Amino acid sequence: MMDILFIDRLTVMAYIGINDWEKNCLQKLIFDLQLSCNTEFFEDHQSVVSYIDYTHVNQVILSLVSQKHFYLIEDVANLIANTLIEKFCIYWVRVKVNKPGAIHNACNVGICVERKNKTLLKSLKKS
Ligand SMILES: Nc1nc2c(c(=O)[nH]1)N=C([C@H](O)[C@@H](O)CO)CN2
């Protein structure tokens, strides 16, 4: 069994979009994140594998999204998913990027990507 650390409706202003006007205009992106982990590892807080600090996850996302202009919401989702897999001890991650208001006759549009930490999942199978 695996546990899931989640962050809902994390809101960030970003330069995002395929149109010229979107290069200089901050727009709202809302993230829903799920990080699969094993919280039993976390009981010993002195151990190397410690808990996943959701404030640290938040900082990583803020720093990634504020660095540059992104063309597609897919680009943001992929960068965040791959970075979280690299930086945190998690089995898989699900990143949903919402760009509300992008289509005038829909309340929301977005993309949801899932990435696995193949190395960690392999070591889980062996044990
Ligand atoms: N699959 C996608 N389609 C579109 C995107 C996107 O990021 N992914 N973006 C746009 C525009 O930037 C739009 O949001 C402007 O309002 C159009 N299609």
Domain range list for the chain: 3-126
∠ CA 95-50-78, rounded to 5°: 20
* Lowest mean pLDDT across 33-37, 46-50, 72-76: 46-50
Give the strand pairing for 92-98 and 110-116: antiparallel
Position 47 pLDDT exceeds 60:
no
72 C-alpha to center of ligand 1: Å?
6
* Prediction ipTM score: 0.98
Query: In the CATH hierarchy, which fold is given to the domain comprising 3-126?
Result: GTP Cyclohydrolase I, domain 2 (3.30.1130)
The pTM score is 0.92
CA neighbor of 120 nearest in space, from 83, 78, 77, 88: 88
Catalytic residue among 23, 28, 68, 99: 99
- Per-residue confidence band for 48, with pLDDT thresholds at 50, 70 and 90: low
Q: Name the E strands within 46-102.
A: 92-98
Name, in order, each residue with C-beta under 8 angstroms of 16's C-beta and a sequence gap of 6 or more.
22, 27, 29, 69, 70, 73, 76, 99
The confidence score (pLDDT) of residue 44 equals: 59
Q: Is 118 a catalytic residue?
A: no
Tell me the percentage of the chain whose pLDDT exceeds 90.
78
Span 34-38, mean pLDDT?
95
* Ligand 1-lining residues (CB < 6 angstroms): 17-19, 22, 72-74, 99, 102
Span 100-104, mean pLDDT?
95
Token pair 């699900």 is at which residue? 94
Span 88-115, mean pLDDT?
97
Position 45 pLDDT exceeds 60:
no
Under 8 Å between Cβ of 108 and 100: yes
Q: Which of 22, 73, 74, 78 to mutate to test the pocket of ligand 1 (most atoms within 8 A of CB)?
A: 73
On average, the pLDDT of the chain sits at 92
